[in-house]
Amino acid sequence: MNIPNVNDEFSTLEALEEAAQAAAKAQGFAFSRRSSNLNGINGKSPYVILQCTKGDNWRNNWGITSESRKRKSKTKRCNCPVRIRATVAKKQLSIVWIITDVEYTHNHPLLISNEVISLPQHRCLNVDQKKLLHDLSNINTPTRIITTAINKIDNGGTVLPKDVVNKRARIRYALNEGPNTDSAQKLLRPFQQRDYMIELLKTPDGHLTHLFFSHVEAAKHTAKCYEVLIVDATYKTNVYKFPLVSAVGISNIANEKGSLKTFQIAMAWIENENEDSYKWFLTMLRKKKSFPEANKMLCTWHLIDQNLKTNCRKLFDSDDDYMEFKKEVEVLQLSFDEEHIIMAMKSIKNAAEKAHDPKKPLAYIDTLMKDSKLWIYAFTKNFCHMGISTTARAESSHSAFKRAIETASGLESVFENIDQRMRVQNLKMAVYTGTNKVACDPFTLRDSRFSVIIGHISTYAINRIKNLLVEIQENSTKYSEATTCQCLIRINYKLPCYHTIPKEGPIPLNIIDKRWYLNRPDIKDLPSPSLELSATDPEFYKAFLKAEETFCQLPEDASIKAEFIARIHQAVTMPLSEPLKAPKIKVLKGRHSGTKREKLLSEKQDLEAKKKKKVLHNLQSKINQVNALQSPITSHKDVNIYEDSIPMFMKEFVLSYINVQGDGNCGFRAIAVSLKLSEDKWPTVRQTILDELINRKAHYVQLFIEGENEYNTVVSIVQWEKGPCGVENWMLMPSFGYPIANAFKRPIHYFSRHQCLTFLPDNIPLNRNQPIVFAFIDKQNHYIAIRLKPNAPVPVIVNRWQNICSSQSKIWEKLFEARILRFQKAFEKEHSLYSKDQATSNIAIDLS
């Protein structure tokens, strides 16, 4: 293609630039505008200068150096002299662009035909491609699908994924820039029509920055259960990239699993996630200055699992050293008095010695300790929080909400998903409340102590009070009268404690806090925003909505919209004596741009591939889980045999029995399964126990009843590395109890026909590791793993533990104290039916 030359004429500037770029593309370069005066400013004749994209030199306008620069950017400029200059000239009755000067001598090599795509000027889109890009961006289509679809259009430019990302960013900016009162009104109307209370912030030029909304039913739930407010933010919910801040509360109704349900209080889209935005959000919740009198807590998960890792992991050489440091911080968080805080801080200082510079992790801990009252249990236990210490409930709500969003684009379509979830939430809350009123546990119904409160307070509160009465009955000496009540059930849950519950007779309703009441006549319904809108005159309201809808459907023509607004203004300012006339509205015919389009073939194929991949992934996950943990026992015959290995009263607390291969290594296989490993990892379990025994030989020689002889026997048993083993290498209980607990730094709950014991670590501080639970089947000489329900009763602690444990380990006993008492009470009740000899045959062996 010939490149434009002097005296060539073009009817428009666009035609000139198109011809120049086409010729440049054929030769291996591109043009860009160097300067122009298209409107003839200052009396000069209109002109334009096109130059090679490698023209001019790079100018260091910011005065940066190679050391101070933050971005390693590149430049194409090498002072190439190639240029085209054109001016406007009148020719007969038309105006044309005439080229007056050219220079075509390059000072750099040119690109070959397949390399010119590296120049952005040759990746421009035609009209059809631009329209497709805009439509697909509005429905939040993935970038890779947009790129493929655009490149399939004939006679169009070729684009890269980066080009699509840049163009989508410009579209988002265009949707948000300048006064958008028209689209804002269209957005806000559905909120009010569906009973949402809204508040918003705009910039002086009409730019929407913050939008707060809360359903009237959510406000009613909040008035009932206002004690806990969990606030968190999530992202990627809309094409404008507005973070979505969510506030959830804790209701007084329990779900099927027995935990209190979460309900949505309010949401807000904010322009950015900063302190001012959160203050505004909280102010909208209370219509005053945030919550100055409220008790505040920090999310312990973000604090320990996220922030601590970000700031301190890099200070340690190995993961093991950092995990030891992290465990000590977790112990600090669980400390329940100042004495344990001091002990935990000493342990943290010792763990920090393994860092490159011990002062740095300790300095970060000192920073956290400035807000210690917001996250350490010793302080947070002193106010009502319903057992909440993390923002997991808010994040769970975000996760469920995001799964419901399929192709959400603007705020309107996202709101449709939110509104649907809010309606389901309100329906579920009504169903659960009604169920609490009409249904009750039959044994509780027969108990005269609950006759007054049944049907008036939630089932969750009744169950908590019922458990408290059991504890009072089992430990009457412990629950003596006290001058000052520090009961956590009263402080943390606003439930009556043993100081306020009468010793005899029905429990009165007036000792229970109103948050647990099912009927709250003192809380009045808020007026419906939709009723307020239509309260003036239904006909006027319908006409107003119709006018707004019509205005939003008008074509993007300033004159048409101006005429529409002028006629409305004329009607509003018209004297009342004159009749109102309906304005004539010019509406453009044709398909509305908001009509949902059919999915492209590439999009459908992508969705099908995703579904297939997800199904395969879920299937593989289940297979891996079965391989790792083995299948729970399903044979009724086997279940009966395994149930004989535990006390009868424990059956209701067992989730599942997990069988393992019986090759002599079954005890160590059961430990591996309890650790959520494959049972084939039994050699690793043996080696870990052996390392513990060798590293603390003096301790175990003193601990074992038979001293060094028993120690040598245990070491000999555990030393087996491969294949089935004989009886001389079988696990021997209770000798292995302490080594297992200390090696894996977690409690051990062991069951059999003759022994039920709990082993606690004797030199490990309190942590969050899940206990190991396993049982010995006497009839088969076989070990199995067991999964217990949360808060299940557990056996007594081996007697000598209190004498051998370190000071930092004594806190473990507090963790299991109530559960052990329940086990002892049920154990004694069950064995009272048998003779004394039969009863004593199942009592745990005393290792003292």
pLDDT at 631 over 60: no
Cα separation, 709 vs 228, in Å, equals 57
Which tokens hold the place of 279? 């203050």
pLDDT of residue 166: 83
pLDDT, one tens digit per residue, over 348-357 is: 999 999 998 9
- Residues 731 and 710: their CA atoms lie apart, in Å, by 13
**The dihedral of CA 400, 405, 409, 411: what is its sign?**
negative
The lowest-confidence range among 180-189, 258-267, 362-371 is 180-189
Q: How far apart are CA 396 and CA 392, in angstroms?
A: 6
SS3 category, 658: strand
Structure confidence at residue 836 (pLDDT): 46
Burial per residue of 793-814, b for 16 or more beta-carbon CB atoms within 10 angstroms, e otherwise = bbbbbbeebeeebeebbbbbee
The highest-confidence range among 93-107, 155-169, 527-541, by mean pLDDT, is: 93-107
The predicted structure's pLDDT at residue 136: 83
Q: What is the mean pLDDT of residues 703-732?
A: 87
pLDDT band at 581 (very low <50, low <70, confident <90, very high): very low
Long-range contacts of 493-502 (CB under 8 A, 24+ apart): 493/384, 493/386, 493/387, 493/464, 494/227, 494/384, 495/461, 495/464, 495/465, 495/468, 496/465, 496/468, 497/468, 498/468, 498/471, 498/472, 501/465, 501/468, 501/469, 501/472
3-state helix, strand, coil in the chain (%, to 5): 50, 15, 40
Determine phi and psi for 487, rounding to 5 degrees. Answer: -70, 130
User: How many Cα atoms are found within 13 Å in the side-chain-facing hemisphere of 230?
Assistant: 23
Of 683, 644, 678, which Cα lies nearest the Cα of 660?
678
Q: Is the pLDDT of residue 479 over 90?
A: no
Structure confidence at residue 530 as a pLDDT band (50, 70, 90): low
pLDDT score of 848 more than 70: no
Which of 246-250, 475-479, 713-717 shows the lowest per-residue confidence on average (mean pLDDT)? 475-479
Q: Report pLDDT for 613.
A: 66
pLDDT value, residue 597: 44
The confidence score (pLDDT) of residue 794 equals 92
**pLDDT attached to residue 760:** 92
Summarize the confidence of residues 510-526 as an average pLDDT.
Answer: 81
Element (H, E) at 311: helix 308-312
Q: Give the model's confidence band at 364: pLDDT under 50 very low, under 70 low, under 90 confident, else very high.
A: very high
The alpha carbon of 418 is separated from its chain's Cα centroid by a whole number of angstroms, namely 17
For residue 264, pLDDT beyond 60:
yes
Model pLDDT, residue 785: 92
Q: Cα(732)–Cα(544) distance, rounded to whole angstroms? A: 83
503-506 CB contacts, 8 Å cutoff, 24+ apart:
505/449, 506/448, 506/449, 506/450, 506/451, 506/452, 506/453
Range in 632-641, 663-672, 673-682, 710-719 the model is least confident about: 632-641
Type of residue found at 400: A
- Which pLDDT tens digit goes with each residue over 321-341? 999 999 999 999 888 888 889
Report CA torsion sign: 51, 56, 62, 64: positive
Which residue, chain included where needed, has tokens 């960013």? 169
Strands 772-777 and 782-788: antiparallel
- Position 339 scores a pLDDT of 87
The confidence score (pLDDT) of residue 439 equals 82
Please, are residues 377 and 218 in contact by the beta-carbon 8 Å criterion?
no
Q: Show Cβ contacts of residue 582 under 8 Å, excluding neighbours closer than 6 positions.
A: none
**By percentage, how much of the chain surpasses pLDDT 70?**
79
Q: Indicate the pLDDT class of residue 528, thresholds 50, 70 and 90.
A: low
The structural domains of the chain, with segments of one domain joined by +, span: 1-61+73-122, 124-177, 181-295+394-429, 300-382, 536-569, 627-840
DSSP 44: P
- pLDDT of amino acid 193: 77
Contact yes or no for 221/233 (Cβ under 8 A): no
Please state, in angstroms and rounded to a whole number, the distance separating the CA atoms of residues 600 and 132.
11
What mean pLDDT, rounded, does the chain reach?
79
Instruction: Assess whether pLDDT exceeds 90 at residue 556.
Output: no
Model confidence at 689, in pLDDT bands (50, 70, 90)?
very high
pLDDT band per the 50, 70, 90 thresholds, residue 275: confident
pLDDT score recorded for residue 607: 67
pLDDT of residue 732 exceeding 80: yes
Which two tokens mark 311?
């700031």
**8 Å CB contact between 767 and 330:** yes
pLDDT in tens, 760-798: 998 888 887 889 999 998 878 899 999 988 888 999 998
Note the pLDDT tens digit of each residue in 437-455.
878 888 888 888 888 888 8
pLDDT at 177 over 50: no
| pLDDT bracket for residue 690 (50, 70, 90) | very high
pLDDT at residue 73 above 50? yes
Q: Identify the pLDDT of residue 558.
A: 60
The CA-atom distances, in angstroms, between 629 and each of 485, 656, 681, 778 are: 46, 12, 11, 23
**Dihedral, 190, 191, 194, 195 alpha carbons, nearest 10:** -150
| pLDDT above 80 for 254 | yes
Q: What is the pLDDT of residue 539?
A: 57
Confidence of residue 666 (pLDDT cuts 50, 70, 90): very high
Where does the pLDDT of residue 583 fall: very low under 50, low under 70, confident under 90, or very high at 90 and above? very low
Ranges of H-type helices in 793-835: 801-804, 811-831
What pLDDT, in 10s, does the model give residues 286-320? Answer: 764 445 567 888 888 888 888 999 999 999 988 88
For residues 511 and 547, the model is more confident at 511
Render pLDDT for 31-68 as a digit per residue (tens, 0 to 9): 998 888 887 787 788 899 999 998 888 888 778 887 77
- Residue written as token pair 């399964």: 673
Least confident of 412-416, 509-513, 735-739: 412-416
- Position 667 confidence tier, pLDDT thresholds 50, 70, 90: very high
Where is average pLDDT lowest: 100-109, 515-524, 748-757? 515-524
pLDDT of 498 reads: 79
Q: Do 710 and 733 form a contact (C-beta atoms < 8 A)?
A: no
Does residue 580 or residue 142 have the better pLDDT?
142
**Most confident residue range from 96-110, 236-250, 526-540:** 96-110
Residue 824: both structure tokens together: 């002892």
What value does the mean pLDDT take over residues 214-222? 84
Nearest to 815 by CA among 794, 845, 800, 789: 794
Q: Looking at residue 366, what is its pLDDT?
A: 92
Q: Output the pLDDT for position 161.
A: 86
> What confidence tens digit (pLDDT) does each residue in 191-208 have?
877 888 888 888 777 677
pLDDT tier at 685 (50, 70, 90 boundaries)?
Answer: very high
On whether the 627-840 domain is CATH 3.30.530.80, my answer is no
Is the pLDDT reported for residue 229 higher than 70? yes
Tell me whether strands 208-215 and 260-270 are parallel, antiparallel or unpaired.
antiparallel
The DSSP call for residue 117 is G
